Every structure is written in structure tokens, then in C-alpha cells.
Amino acid sequence: MRSLLGTLILLCGFGYEHGSYAANILVYSPSYSQSHLITNALMADILAEEAGHNVVMFIPEYHETNFNGTKHAKIIRMSGISDSFDENMKDFSAGFIKDHTLSFRLRKLFEEATSEQCEAILRRKSELEQLRSYNFDVAFSEQLDLCGVGIIRYLGIKNHIWISSGSMMDGLSDTLGVPMPISYVPSVEENDLSTEMSFMERAQNMYL
């Protein structure tokens, strides 16, 4: 994490140090959890304070929260989006803690919850137009769900940086063309299989 942030400072601060104008940057950070907000807020603070850019942290409230984690970025919240995420996540969280791998049913619950939230966000046209008025040069979003990609495209932001606070998830590696042969490379998503798998474990890995 430290080396990643150091690289971020170097790349994003280079133009600022050489007298260029500050960039307008959007950090798209839904409130999945406080840990995700902390990670994105840390990145936003580095871009704002140390690199001198104009940073807006947009927080669609999947979970209702007053927390944002940032000291230097401008905060724009979208509250009262939908109750679907909280309702679906009750069952998801119980299964996530109890089981060592994620079932298809629980994965489907998460995907449905995030999809419903995304549709609800896109219906809030006036708030999205407020974001568009900032004329962002670049936007950051996490790989956890694809809504950020769609929102950034809707806002007409041409430069998008896809970030991850963990290992590369299977969907992202496939999108980026990174080989992840499922016959011997364990899925990184909610999976405790090793690189030495039995036949049944390989079948399970394909299912995951």
C-alpha cells in the first residue's frame, strides 16, 4: 500500500510541481463499509494535500453513515438511495461469516443489491448533473462493483483509474486480459483453496 501511494504521489504530483494547473479529480466511493471509505479517503487526501489537485469524494450511501475519512477532499453525498443494499446484506453478512467460501446464492444477493443501488443512483439526475459541472479530468473507482465504471462514463469523464484495496478479483483480471487458469490458479474471491487442489477442489474453484 505504501509503495502504491508513493507512486500515486509521484505520478499525480509531477505536473503540479512543474507549474501545471491542478487537475479536477473524482473519487467514487460508495459506503460499502468504513474500511473502503478509509482507503479511498487516504488516496483522496494525498491527491489533494500533497499533489495539490482539486479532489471531490463522491459517497453514494449504500449504508447510511456520517463517516468519510478525508480531511482535505470536498465531500458530496447521495443519501436515501434505496434500502435494498442493507436488506440484502443482512443475509449476505451472516453467510459470509459462517461459511469459508461464498455460495452462488450469496454472490447473487450481492450482485442484485449493488445493481439495484446503481439503478437508483442513475435516477438521481439532478445530483449527477451537479457532479458533471465539475468537469473532472480523471476519476477513481474500486473494482468491487461495476457501477462506478458506468457512473464515470455517464458523467463524461474520459480518464478512469480502476483501483483495488486487495488482490485482483477474477472479473477484473478477465476484463484486463490477465491469465487466471482456473484449473490450477485459485480464485481470490472468498476462497481458501491452495495452489495444490484435488479434483473436487478444482471443480469447486471453477464454480467460484
Most confident of 134-138, 165-169, 198-202: 134-138
Q: Is it the case that residue 18 has pLDDT exceeding 60?
A: no
Q: How confident is the model at residue 123 (pLDDT cuts 50, 70, 90)?
A: very high
Tell me how crowded residue 190 is: count the other CB atoms within 10 A of its CB: 14
Q: How confident is the model at residue 130 (pLDDT cuts 50, 70, 90)?
A: very high
Q: Is pLDDT larger for residue 129 or for residue 93?
A: 129
C-alpha span between 70 and 48 (Å, rounded): 10
Q: Is pLDDT larger for residue 25 or for residue 98?
A: 25
For residues 38-50, average pLDDT: 92
Cβ 56 vs Cβ 152: under 8 Å: no
Q: How confident is the model at residue 90 (pLDDT cuts 50, 70, 90)?
A: low
Per DSSP, 79 falls in state: -
Q: Is it the case that residue 47 has pLDDT exceeding 90?
A: yes
Sketch out the chain's domains with CATH numbers: 24-166 (3.40.50.2000), 177-207 (no CATH)
C-alpha span between 60 and 117 (Å, rounded): 9
Lowest-confidence region among 44-48, 119-123, 166-170, 189-193: 189-193
C-alpha span between 60 and 62 (Å, rounded): 6
Cβ 29 vs Cβ 58: under 8 Å: yes
pTM (two decimals)? 0.79
Cβ 32 vs Cβ 62: under 8 Å: yes
Cα separations in angstroms, 133 against 41, 127, 163: 22, 10, 24
Q: Is it the case that residue 165 has pLDDT exceeding 60?
A: yes
C-alpha span between 102 and 1 (Å, rounded): 26
Cβ 196 vs Cβ 185: under 8 Å: no
Lowest-confidence region among 43-47, 95-99, 102-106, 135-139: 95-99
C-alpha span between 139 and 1 (Å, rounded): 19
C-alpha span between 191 and 100 (Å, rounded): 7
Q: Is it the case that residue 79 has pLDDT exceeding 80?
A: yes
Can you give the pLDDT at residue 14? 45
